[in-house]
Amino acid sequence: MNTLKSIPVMMLAFVLACSNTKTPDDSTSDSTSASATGHNAANDEGGEAAITDYAKTLPLDKIKLPAGFSIDVYAEVENARSMALSPSGVVYVGNKDKDKVYAVKDTNGDFKADKKWVLASGLNMPNGVAFKDGDLYIAEVSKISKIAGVESKLGNPPAPTTVKDDYPTETHHGWKYIAFGPDGKLYVPVGAPCNICESKDEVYASITRINPDGSAREIFAKGVRNSVGFTWHPETNELWFTDNGRDMLGDDVPSCELNNASKAGMHFGYPYCHEGSIKDPEFGNKRACSEFTPPADKLGPHVAPLGLKFYNGNMFPAAYKNQLIVAEHGSWNRSKKSGYNLSLVKMSGNNKVTSHEVFASGWLDDATQKVWGRPVDVLLLPDGSMLVSDDQANVIYRITYKG
């Protein structure tokens, strides 16, 4: 791929060896943190092309969308994961299986990114990115850092500075999605360091929040096995998040969850209770399911829901207003694969889930069970179109509606 042309020679052998590595689910092997750097040759040249001929090889015609919708490639980003948007239109993109954080931008207004920069490398699973007051925040396994004033430094960014570095170091469910809430705090999840276990430290299996300077960490939600996506309702400001259900209970249980945390301190069941009603065979007798908040919706077994957003733009039909779009990364050990699509979760006027259905599919060929893409995160652009990252196809898509 042409996207490799800007990688320094010293790294080339490593990248070529790893570029075809696929992670079966949203888990990964241990990774060693290296010193971060924001400097690379492409940045000195003002960035590299964000789209190459590679984009033309993707079978976008296989993607099924509702009538009037279309999909195209917005940018090519290796192992594209979580995304964040700045007011100036820069899209920041994290990695999980690699070590970099990227920025891409549509500089000529054609709704396709034409510039791409590597902002930092040598990071430890930098899955999460968030933007606030001109600064880019980056989440590694055990550390939150930031690049201050990043917008003016895309061509030659400094190394990130540490905001907080005392999160757990386990890489099992250690990658993080981060986002700033309506309260101005940075929300940071901490996954369970296992498939199923009780932890002595309450910070595990939680969603925490901190001040932008890293101070005053508190646990906002408990009993959350592994959330890799959350958002806030545009009217109520309540937190909604996905949670990946435990493995090794069979193909059909438990369901992955969509949860609503209306206030701080709520407990969502892990490791004692799954999908609101299934007692864990190992820990379920310790606490009753009735003690915990049940999911707002059961998204299906092993679908691995990650990023999600309430649609509050003006491009899609009115029926989509304040409805949830959820990226389902897809199962890794189910005998027949599930997920690998975008779901539409329908909400009623009182913010209760009424149903969910497939919004976009085609990354999985159900007949052959072959997969060519895995949706990760969802981001809305000011014009009302929607970006979707894909860490297997190594791109960001843009979904539009024309009627």
Q: 375 with 342: CB under 8 angstroms?
A: yes
CATH superfamily, domain at 2-17+32-401: TolB, C-terminal domain (2.120.10.30)
Confidence at 46, pLDDT banded by 50, 70, 90 = confident
Torsion sign over Cα 270, 84, 373, 307: positive
Confidence at 403, pLDDT banded by 50, 70, 90 = confident
Nearest-angstrom CA–CA distance, 345 and 297 = 8
Domain boundaries, the chain: 2-17+32-401
Share of residues in the chain with pLDDT > 90 (%)? 87
pTM: 0.89
pLDDT tens, 85-126?
999 999 999 999 999 999 999 999 999 999 999 999 999 999
Residue 2 predicted with pLDDT over 60 = no
pLDDT tens, 47-73?
999 999 999 999 999 999 999 999 999
What pLDDT does 274 receive?
Answer: 98
Q: How distant, in Å, are the alpha carbons of 220, 250, 304 from that of 96?
A: 24, 27, 15
Cis peptide upstream of residue 305 (ω within 30 degrees of 0): no
Residue 174 predicted with pLDDT over 90 = yes
What token pair was written down for 262?
């209306």
What token pair was written down for 18?
């790893």
CA angle 384, 49, 372 (to 5 degrees): 70
pLDDT tens, 272-324?
999 999 999 999 999 999 999 999 999 999 999 999 999 999 999 999 999 99
Torsion sign over Cα 133, 139, 144, 146: negative
Residue 391 predicted with pLDDT over 70 = yes
Confidence at 40, pLDDT banded by 50, 70, 90 = very low
What pLDDT does 350 receive?
Answer: 84
